[in-house]
Amino acid sequence: MGLLTSSLLALRRDRGLIEKLPSYVSIICVIIGVVWLLLLPLDEYSRKTYISENALLPGQVHTYFAGSEQKIFNAYKHEVANLTGQPHHAYEQCDVYVFMLIVSSVAPKLVEILRSSGLKVATQKYEYVVGDDVHQGENVYGIIHAPRGDATEAIVLVTAWKNMEEQLNQNGVALALTLARYFKRWSLWSKDIIFLISADSKAGPQAWIEAYHDCHSANVESLPLKSGALEGAIVVDNPLNHSFESIHITYDGINGQLPNLDLFNTAVSIASGQHGIPISLQQMWKSGDSYRERLSTTFRGMVSQGFGQSTGPHSSFIPYHVDAITLKTVGQGWQDDMALGRVVESLFRSLNNLMEHFHQSFFLYLLMHNNRFVSIGTYLPSAMAVAASFTIMALALWIASGRPPSDTSTASPAKLSEGRKMEVVSTGDAVAVVPQEDMRVLERELLLPVTSIVTLHILGIIPFYLFNHTNQQDLRYVFYIFLVVNSILPYLVASTTQSLAAPTLQHKLLLKSFSFLLLGMFLASLATVNFSLSLFIGLLSSPLLLVGIRPVSTTKTSWPRKMIENLVLQTLSPPVIIAALCWSAGVSVESALLEAAFGWHVWGVWTQVIVWGVWWPAWLAGAIGVSLQT
Amino acid sequence: MRCSILFTLLLTLLPTSLANTKAPHTSNWAVLVSTSRFWFNYRHLANVLSLYRTVKRLGIPDSQILLLLPDDMACNPRNAFPGTVYNNADRALDLYGDNIEVDYRGYDVTVENFIRLLTDRWPDDVPRSKRLGSDEGSNVLVYMTGHGGNEFLKFQDSEEIGSWDLAHAFAQMWAKKRYRELLFMIDTCQANTMFERFYSPNIIATGSSGIDESSYSHHADTDVGVAVIDRWTYYVLEFLETQIKDQQSKLTLGDLFNSYDEEKVRSRPGLRWDLFDGGEAAGRSRLVMDFFGNVQGVEVNDANTFNETEWIQGMEWLAQMFKDKELDQRIGTQDSSQVTLTKQETLAMAHPTNSQTHKIAKIMKGQQWEQKAVGAIALFGVAALWVGSSIFTRT
Amino acid sequence: MGRLLQQVLLFAAAALLRLILFLVFPSLPDFFTGRVEVSTPVTSFKRLQEGLFLYTRNVSPYDGGVFYQPPLLLTLFSFIPDSIFTTVTALLYIGLDLASAQALIEIADSKLSGHELFYKSPRRHSRWGSLAVAAAFLFNPLTVISCLGRPTSIFSNYAILLAISKAIQGKTGNAIIALSMAAYQSMYPAILLLPLLLLAHDVSTQGIIGTDTGFLVRHAALFFGAISALFGLSYLVTGSWEFFASTYGNQLLLVDLTPNIGLWWYFFIEMFDSFREFFLGVFWLHLLSYVGGLSVRLRTQPLFVTITMVGLIAVFIPYPSISNASIYLGLFPLYKHIFPLMRTTFIYTTALLYSIVLGPAFYYLWIYAGSGNANFFYAITLVWGLGFSLLIGDSIWATLRDEWEVTRPEMKDKPIRQI
C-alpha cells in the first residue's frame, strides 16, 4: 500500500508521463476493443447455436405439403401471374402509376382467393408521406382461427407483393395462398394463423403491424379484423422463377433489435437439418465456416445492425416484440417451391408448439455462421472498452484542467523540485516531498464549457431536421452545402469564441473533457441497445482522443502536426463519412438520405438521432478544440 | 410398582412390534404420477397412462389406482389426433381409449397434494376416490415421471419435490401402517438420486438413470410431432406387456430388473434393495404380480376382529342421517309456504329502493355543488391555517 | 431595480421554456407522466386524474388501489373545470416551479448558507448570486422534466422550500404550517421537522446561546396540531378515514411495488414475506437515523442539515423520483463555498450522468425490447443511489472540513490526508 501510494505520488510528479498516460491507456482501450472483436470468431470465444425452448421441437413432424398441393400451387401461380398483367421480366420496367393500377386490382382478387379458402379476410389501405414522396398501398390479410384454440395468440405468415429489391414476389405470394388453403384443413393449430400479403416490403408491413397494435397514424387505416397476441412472424420471399439453391435468412430488425435466437435456430434446424436446404445469412452466399468467413459474416451483421434500417418485411415486427425472420430463396439449384413450403409448414408446426413468447434464448447476439454465435456477455466488452476510452480521457482532462499551468512541461523531476515550496505528504509509512503547486487544485470555471457542450448537442437538431424534411430534389444540394459549411464550422466557431469570450486553456480542456464524458456515456448506453452502432461511432471518434491533446504545454503545436490533425478531423467528419459510405456502397447520397429519412418517419429508426445528436457534436467539439488558440 | 407397569407395557408391545414386520398381503394400490405439463411433455403423460393401462390389465381396480395427470394431452389443440394419447408411433393402442379415471388433474397435481395423498393427511371432506386407502396389508406401487435433477423432481414447472421429502413421506406411511411393501419406480433424469434418501423398511426402489445421467425419450411420432414415450418406461412396459401374459404369471421382480439393457435404455437404471426385509434375495424373488396385479383369492375376515360397537355406532349414525334429512325436507316445504305468504316482501327485495341503486348503478357525476362546497370549505380551512399561523408568528 | 428586471427575465425565460415544451410537443407531458423516473405510485399525475374521476363521481377515490394521494389535492384539482384542465394544470405547475424558485431566491438572499447564526465559514464570501441559484434550479433538466411530468411531489417540493424560506425569515408559524402541508401531502417531509425547528429557533432567538426547549415544544405542537387539522379537513372532504391507509399506509408498508428510481421496490419484490415487516422497519429507521446524528453533529448549521436531509430523502424514501433529486440539486448550489473542498466531484457526477442515460436505456431493454430484465434497471437505480449518496457524503465531509478550519485557521487550503 505504501509502495503503491508513493509510486502514485511519483507518477503525479512526473508531468510528462501523467499527461501522456491517459492517452496511451485510452488508445490501448480502443485497441483492446478491436482485438476483442477480431478474437470472437475463434472457436474458443464463439458458441454453437442450440435450441433453448423445449417446446419448439423443430423438425419433429412429418410434413405433408407435397403432391396434390403442387397442382394447387401451380394454379395460384397462374392466378398471381395474371394479376401482374404482364410477364415477370417486363414488369420491372413499368412505372409507378401503372403499378398502382395493378395493385388496386390485386387486392380484391387476393381477397377473393383467400376467402374461397375459407379464411376471414380484410384489407387495409395506408399512406406515408416522407418529404414529397408518397408511399401508399393496400395490405390484404386473412385469418385462420385455430379450430380448438382460444384465439388469444396468433402467428403470421407474411409475403410482400414486392420484395426489398422491388422484385415481384410471385412465387412467395402463390405459396402463401396455397399454404393458407392447406393450413385451413388442419385441426391441430393452437394459435390463429394470419396470412398477410403486404403491398410492399417497406411501408406495408409497418402499416399493418402499427395498426395491429393501434399505434398507427391517421393515414393508416385501422384493421377491421384482429386476432390475439402475435407470437412470431415468418416472411417468405421467393422472387425466383426457377428452383433455388439455398435459403437466405434475414433477421435484423429496426434499430438493430434482433429476434430471439431460438426462432433463427429453429428455422436453421428445420431447413438444413430436416430438409437439407443450405442456409446463408448476411449476403454470404457461399457460407463456409472459416475464420475469415465468420468474421466477414459478423462484420456484415454489425453493419446492418448499426444502420438500424429495415432489412426485410420482418424488421417492422421486431420493435413490437414479435420475433420475425425473412426466408429468401437464392441461387440456382434443385430445391423447388414445395420444399420451401414444407420448411414453412414445419416452422409453423414448431411455432404452434410454443406456450408463450420466445424468451428462453438470446435477444442480443452476433451470428457468425448459421450455427455459430456469440452472446452479449462475450462481445459487449469490446464496445465498452471503446466507450471507456472516452471516459478515461474525460477524467484525465478533468484532472488536468484543475492543475495550474506550469511553464516547463518537459522539465525533469529533479529540476521541478528546486526552488519551490515543498509539501510533506505522508501516507501510512510512506513519506514524500511534493511541490506544493502539484497538490493545489485550480478552481474550475464550468459555465462556458458546459453551455458550449449543451449548445453543440442542441445544434444537432439542425442537420437532423434538414435531412429529414427536405424535398427529394433539394436533398443533394442541402447535403453538399452542409458538407462545406461543416468543414469550416469549427474554425468559424473557434475564432468567434476567441474574439468573444477569450477562452483559457482550462476552458478548452473542460470542453474536451465534457465532450468525451458525454460521448463515452452515450456510447456505453447505446452499446446495450445497439452494440454495433456504438462500436462504429466509437471507433470513428477515437482519433479525437489523440488530436489537440496537449493539456499543459504552452508550446505551440508544430504546424505539420496541426495540418495532420486537421486533415484527420476533416476526413472523419460525419458528413464526409456518410459521403464515403455512399460512394463505397455505390448508391447516391440523395437516395441514402432519402432512405434514412424514410427510416426515421416510417420505421422510427434512431440512427440519425445518434449521428446528429451524439457523434456530430462530439466531432464538432473535438474540431473546435483543435482550432481553438489558447 | 412402576417397574412392573413398564414391564407389562413392554410385554404387551413386544408381540405387536414383532408381528408388525409383515402383515398378510391383502390388497394392492398404485400411485401413478406425471409431474409435468405442456405439449412437449406428451411422453410423460403417455408413460403414466401406459402404466395405468398395464396395472389395470393385471387386475388392480380403478378404485385402488390413483392417477395424477397435470395436463390433458388428448384435448390439447396441438394434438393431431384429438381425444387420443399414444405411446407408440404405430398408434396401435389408444391409451386414452375408454375408462380412464384421473384422480388428480391440472393444477391439483402439486407436491402438497401428493404428500398429503401418500400420508393421508386430508380434511374429512375429501372423497374416498381421492385417497390412498392402503393399510398394513397393502403392497403399494409408486410410479413417477417428469423432469428432475439431482435429488429433486419438478412439479409443473413451479415447484419441486426433494428426495428427503419423499423419504419422509414414505417413513410416515410406514409409521402409519399404510403399506406392507412398496415398489418405487421413477423415470426422470438422475432418477436414482431420488431414492437414495429412503430410510423406511420394505421398500424396493428402481430408477431410470444414475447421477449426472439423462433419461432419454424412446422415439417420436412424426405426426403427433412429439416424443411419445421414455426409454426406460418403454422397456419396462415391453417386459410387462410381453412377459406377463396373465395374472397367473410367476415372473419375479428379479426377472423384470434383469431385463434392463443399458445399451437400449442409454442410461444406467438403478436398484435399491437394502431397505427390504430380506435384502436383495428376498426382493428379487417377489413376484411382479405382487405389485402390478391384485391379490388373488378372497380374504376372509377373522370373526374375532369383528367390532360390534363400531357396527352399532355406524348404524346409529345412519339412522341419525336419515332423520336429519327428513327434517331438512320439512324445513324446505315450510320455506316455500313462507315465500307465497310474503310475496310482496320478496318483490321488494328483488327491486331495491332507489337509495340502494347507486351502489351498483353506472358511475355518474355526483352532486357537484355539494361536493364543491365541502371542498371549498376545506380549502378555505387550509388557507385559514396559513393565515392563522402568520398571526401565531407575530405574537 | 436591475436585479428585479433580471429576475423577471429569468422567470419569463423559464416559464417560456416550459410553455413551449407544453404547447409545441403536446405528447411530451404524457410521455413523462408515464415514465417511472418521474411518476411514482404516490405522486403520479395519471393516478391523480383517476382519483379525481372517482372523487367527482362520489366514489371513494381509494377504491381499487390505484390512488395513494391525500384527499385535499383532489379537492384542489376538482375546482378546475374539465374543459381547461390541461391548460390550467400546466400553468399551475409552471407557477409552482416559479414560486419554488422565488423561495429559493429568498433562501439564497439570506446568505445563511455558510454564515449561520452560530457558525461563520471562512469561505462564506465565495457564493453564487441568488439568481444564479434560481437559474440552476429552473433550467435543470430534471426540474423541467418533473414539471412536464406533473407529479404531485412538486407540491411538497414547493412546500419544503417555502418552509425553509419562511423559517429563515423568522416567520416560524408559516414555516411550520408549510412543512405540515408538505408532510400531509407526502409524509416523508415530517423528517425535516427537527432540523427546520432548529433553524427557526436559531433565527428567531437571534444569537442567544443555548436552546429554548419551550420554543421547540411549542412549534412541534403547532406542527402536529396543523397536520391534525389537515386530517380533519380530509375527513370532511371524503367522509371517511380510509385515506390514511391508502396514502400513509402505502408509503409505510410499500404496498405498490411499481418500479422507481429508489432502492426499495426491487428489494421488497425479492423479499420473503416473513422478513417484510422487519426490513420495512430497518429501511425506515435507516432514513430516520440520519436526522438525529446530523442535527447533533452539525448543530450550528441547521440549514445545511435540512438541505442534506432533503438530499437523503431523495435517495432513501420508498418512492423517490427525479423531482426529489431536482429540489436537492436546486438547494445544493447554496453551498458553493464548500465546492473546492469536495474531493470526488467528477466520479459521482459521472455516476449520476451515466445512470440518467443508462436508466431509461435499461428500462427500455426490460419493458419494451424484452431483451433485458428487472435486474438491469435496478442496477442503474443502485448506481444512481450510490452517486447521490456519494455526493451527499462528500458535501458533509467538506462541511466538516470547513468547520475544522474555523478552529484551525492555519490549515486553510492545505491538503488533508488521513494519517
- Domain for residue B303, yes or no? no
Q: Do A149 and B80 touch (CB under 8 A)?
A: no
What pLDDT is stored for residue A418 in this prediction?
Answer: 43
What's the mean per-residue pLDDT of chain B? 81
Q: Is B69 inside a domain boundary?
A: yes
Cell numbers standing for residue B58: 393385471
Task: Give the single-character DSSP code of A615.
Answer: I
Domain range enclosing B44: 24-298
Contacts of C among chains (3+ CB pairs under 8 A): A, B
Q: What is the reported pLDDT for A93? A: 47
Q: Shortest Cα distance from B161 to chain C (angstroms)?
A: 20
Are A292 and A438 members of one domain?
no
- Which of B19-23, C83-87, C199-203 bottoms out in mean pLDDT, i.e. has the lowest? B19-23
Q: What mean pLDDT is predicted for residues C283-310?
A: 92
For A585, the grid coordinates are: 456502397
Question: Is A36 a residue whose pLDDT tops 80?
Answer: yes
Which of these, B141, B168, B165, lies nearest to B152 by C-alpha position?
B165
Q: What is the pLDDT of residue C22?
A: 92
Interface contact A395, partner C, CB < 8 A:
yes
For B116-128, the pLDDT digits (tens) are 999 999 999 999 8
What pLDDT shows up at residue A22? 81
State the distance between the two ends of chain B, measured CA to CA, in whole angstroms.
91
pLDDT > 70? residue A11: no
Residue type, B354: N
pLDDT at C157 over 60: yes
Q: Which residue's C-alpha cell is 435450441? A: A51
In a domain, C11, yes or no: yes
**What is the spatial distance between Cα A513 and Cα A500, in angstroms, rounded to a whole number?**
22
> What residue of A is the nearest CA neighbor of C413?
A440
Q: Is the pLDDT of residue B298 over 80?
A: no
Q: Any CB–CB contact under 8 A between C369 and chain A?
A: yes
Q: Return the SS3 of B58.
A: coil
Structural domain span for residue A171: 54-370
State the nearest Cα–Cα gap between C410 and chain A, in angstroms.
15
Helix (H) or strand (E) holding A246: strand A244-250
Q: Do residues A421 and A339 both lie within one domain?
A: no
Q: Do B381 and C233 touch (CB under 8 A)?
A: yes
| Dist CA B312 CA A99 (whole Å) | 95
CA–CA distance from C222 to each of C158, C171, C229, C248, C417 (Å)?
20, 13, 10, 20, 46
- Domain count for chain B, please give it: 1
The residue-averaged pLDDT of A616-630 equals 84
Q: Is B279 a domain residue?
A: yes
| Residue C228 near chain B (CB below 8 Å) | no
Confirm whether B11 is domain-assigned: no
> B76 in a domain, yes or no?
yes
Q: Where is the domain boundary, A370, A394, A414?
A: A370
Of A338, A370, A402, which one is at a domain's C-terminal end? Answer: A370
**Count of CB contacts below 8 A, A vs C?**
55
The answer to whether C170 faces chain B, any CB pair under 8 Å, is yes
| Residue C237 to residue B393, Cβ atoms within 8 A | no
Question: Total domain count for chain C?
Answer: 1
Cα C343 → chain centroid: 25
pLDDT band, very low/low/confident/very high, at A134 (cuts 50, 70, 90): confident
For the question of residue B147 being annotated catalytic, the response is yes
Alpha-carbon distance values, C197 to A145, A416, A610, C164, C167 (Å): 70, 54, 50, 10, 8
Q: How confident is the model at residue A441 (pLDDT cuts 50, 70, 90)?
A: low
Residues A601 and A539 reside in one and the same domain: yes
Q: How many residues does chain A have?
A: 630
What single-letter amino acid sits at C391?
L
Suggest the residue from C139, C345, C371, C417 to mutate for an interface test with chain A (most A CBs closer than 10 A): C371
Domain CATH number, residue A124: 3.40.630.10
Of A60, A189, A190, the CB nearest to B226: A60
Lowest mean pLDDT across A126-130, A364-368, B95-99, C198-202: B95-99
Environment class of residue C208 by beta-carbon count within 10 Å: exposed (0-12), middle (13-18) or buried (19+)?
exposed
Instruction: Examine the pLDDT at B357 and tell me if it is beyond 50.
Output: no
Ramachandran angles phi, psi of B223, nearest 5°: -90, -40
Cell digits of residue A412: 525533469
Decide if pLDDT at A414 tops 50: no
The answer to whether the Cβ–Cβ distance between B40 and A57 falls below 8 Å is yes
**Residue B1 predicted with pLDDT over 60:** no
Q: Would you state the pLDDT for residue C193?
A: 93
Question: Which chain C residues are closer than 8 Å to A425 by Cβ?
Answer: 415, 417
Specify if C9 maps to a domain. yes
Same domain, yes or no: A114 and A255: yes
Q: Is residue C306 part of a domain?
A: yes
pLDDT band for position B4 (50/70/90)? low
**Among A364, A427, A525, beta carbon nearest to C357:** A525
Round the average pLDDT of chain A to a whole number and report it.
Answer: 84
Residue linked to cell 429552473: C138
Task: List the single residue in B with minimal CA-CA distance to A64.
Answer: B223
Angle, helices B163-175 vs B111-119, to 10°: value is: 20
Find, among A373, A629, A326, the residue nearest to A505 by Cα: A629
A389 & A493 share domain: yes
- Taking the Cβ of residue A427 and every Cβ of chain C, the question of whether any pair is shorter than 8 Å is answered with yes
In a domain, C403, yes or no: no
Helices (H), C248-301: 250-253, 264-270, 273-297
Digit-coded pLDDT (tens) for C244-266: 888 999 989 988 889 999 999 99
| Contact (Cβ atoms closer than 8 angstroms) between residue A197 and residue A173 | yes
8 Å CB contact between B29 and B133: yes
Q: For position B353, what pLDDT does the model report? A: 46
- pLDDT at residue B12 in the model: 47
Which residue from C minimizes the CA distance to A361? C371
Say how many domains are in chain A. Answer: 2
**Helix, strand, or coil here: A432?**
strand
Whether residues A352 and A390 share a domain: the answer is: no
Residues A156 and A280 in one domain: yes
Give residue A40's Cα distance to chain centre. 19
Select from A155, A373, A342 the least CA-distant residue to A264.
A373
A266 and chain B in contact, CB less than 8 A = no
Q: Quick check: is A49 in a domain?
A: no
> Which of C218, C233, C235 to mutate to test binding with chain B, by most B CBs within 10 Å of its CB?
C233
Residue C292 sits at the chain B interface (C-beta within 8 Å): no
Instruction: Assign C319 a pLDDT band (cuts: 50, 70, 90).
Output: very high
Look up B25 and say whether it is catalytic. no
Which of B3, B147, B168, B358 is catalytic? The answer is B147
Q: What is the pLDDT of residues C334-352, one digit of tens each?
A: 988 888 888 888 889 889 9
The contact set of B with A (CB < 8 A) is 38-40, 75-80, 82, 220, 222-223, 225-227
Residue B245, CB-side half-sphere exposure with 13 Å CA sphere: 2
Q: Do A188 and B80 touch (CB under 8 A)?
A: yes
* Per-residue buried b or exposed e for B41-67, using 16+ beta carbons within 10 Å of the residue's own CB: bbbbbbbbbbbbbbbbebbbeeebbbb
Helix/strand/coil (H, E, C) string of B213-231?
Answer: CCCCEEEEECCCCEEEEEH
Which residue matches cell numbers 401413478? B32
In this prediction, residue C128 carries a pLDDT of 85
Q: Tell whether A375 is within 8 A of chain C (Cβ).
A: no
Contacts of A575 (CB under 8 A, 6+ apart): A479, A482, A483, A486
Q: Are residues A26 and A59 in the same domain?
A: no
Q: What is the pLDDT of residue C367?
A: 86
Residue A375 located in a structural domain: no
- Residue whose cell numbers read 428567531: C204
Q: Which amino acid is at C55?
A: Y
Neighbours of A199 (CB within 10 A): 29
Determine, yes or no, domain membership for A47: no
**pTM assigned to the model:** 0.81
**CATH at B86:** 3.40.50.1460
- Taking CB atoms and an 8 Å limit, are C365 and A425 in contact across chains? no
Query: Are the C-beta atoms of residues A617 and A457 closer than 8 Å to each other?
Result: yes
Separation CA A170–CA A165 (nearest Å): 13
- The answer on A529 and A406 residing in a single domain is yes
Q: Is the pLDDT of residue C209 over 80?
A: no
Name B27's bridge partners.
B138
Tell me what percent of the residues of chain C surpass a pLDDT of 90: 55
Report the candidate in C139, C151, C138, C156 with the shortest Cα–Cα distance to residue C32: C151
- Which member of B44, B168, B189, B218 is catalytic? B189
Q: Residue B350 has what pLDDT? A: 47
Domain that holds residue C272: 2-241+262-341
Question: Would you say residue B389 lies in a domain?
Answer: no
Whether residue A282 sits in one domain with residue A260? yes
Cβ separation C370–A321 shorter than 8 A = yes
Average pLDDT over residues B268-295: 88
Distance CA B184, CA B272 (A): 10
Residue C257 CA: distances (Å) to CA of A248, C250, C252, C319, C325:
46, 10, 12, 9, 20
Q: Which residues pair with B153 in a beta bridge?
A: B148, B161
C-alpha cell at A262: 431460438
pLDDT at A399: 82
Residue B393 and residue C172: Cβ atoms within 8 Å? Answer: yes
- β-strand B159-162 against B181-187: which pairing, if any? unpaired
Predicted confidence (pLDDT) at residue C173 exceeds the cutoff of 70:
yes
Residue C96 lies in a domain: yes
Grid cell locating C370: 424484452
Instruction: Give me the mean pLDDT over the A272-292 stretch.
Output: 86
Check residues A100 and C214 and name the one with the higher pLDDT: C214
Residue B84 has pLDDT above 80, yes or no: yes
* pLDDT confidence bin for A446, thresholds 50/70/90: confident
- A591 and A487 together in one domain: yes
Asked whether the beta carbons of residue C369 and residue A529 sit closer than 8 angstroms, the reply is yes
What is the rounded CA–CA span in Å between residue B279 and residue B257?
15
Q: Enter the C-alpha cell of residue B203.
A: 421398500
What secondary structure letter does DSSP report for A165? T
Q: Are A223 and A212 in contact (CB under 8 A)?
A: yes
In a domain? residue A376? no
Final residue belonging to a domain, choices A320, A348, A370: A370
